[in-house]
Amino acid sequence: MWLIAHGGFGVDMAGENVLTVRVSAQLQDRLDAIATAIGRPRSWVIKRALETFVELGADQVEEIKRGLGEADAGEFASDAEVEALFRKWRSIDPDAD
């Protein structure tokens, strides 16, 4: 099944671009159910989902870059800090390994 969403890729149309993607019938049904439930068109739901995904992905990339920068600078947790963190999580979930 082909879906067309108005978003940030493809051909410029009145300030927005067209993006064409293939999705399974099951995913299309789920998108349609959400769109129907909130009274919005499918393209609106897809656009919001893509915006959220891209924003979360950008945040993750920035966190990874920050962590790599810290590692490159030799900024690591001490053995005592790591053990304290493990003790904390074990007290919350005694079954955790």
Which residues span the domain enclosing 54?
Answer: 2-92
- Distance of alpha carbon 57 from alpha carbon 62, whole angstroms: 9
Residue 51 lies in a domain: yes
- Domains identified in the chain, total number: 1
Q: Is residue 78 part of a domain?
A: yes
Tens of pLDDT, residues 1-14: 444 454 444 444 56
Task: Quick: pLDDT tens for 60-77.
Answer: 999 999 999 999 998 888
Tell me, yes or no, whether 25 lies in a domain.
yes
Quick one: tokens of 67? 């962590």
In a domain, 97, yes or no: no
pTM score, whole prediction: 0.56
Q: What pLDDT is stored for residue 2 in this prediction?
A: 47
Contact criterion met (CB below 8 Å) for 15 and 53: no
Q: Which residues contact 50 (CB under 8 A, 6 or more apart)?
A: 5, 7, 8
H-helix segments, 1-97: 25-38, 42-72, 79-92
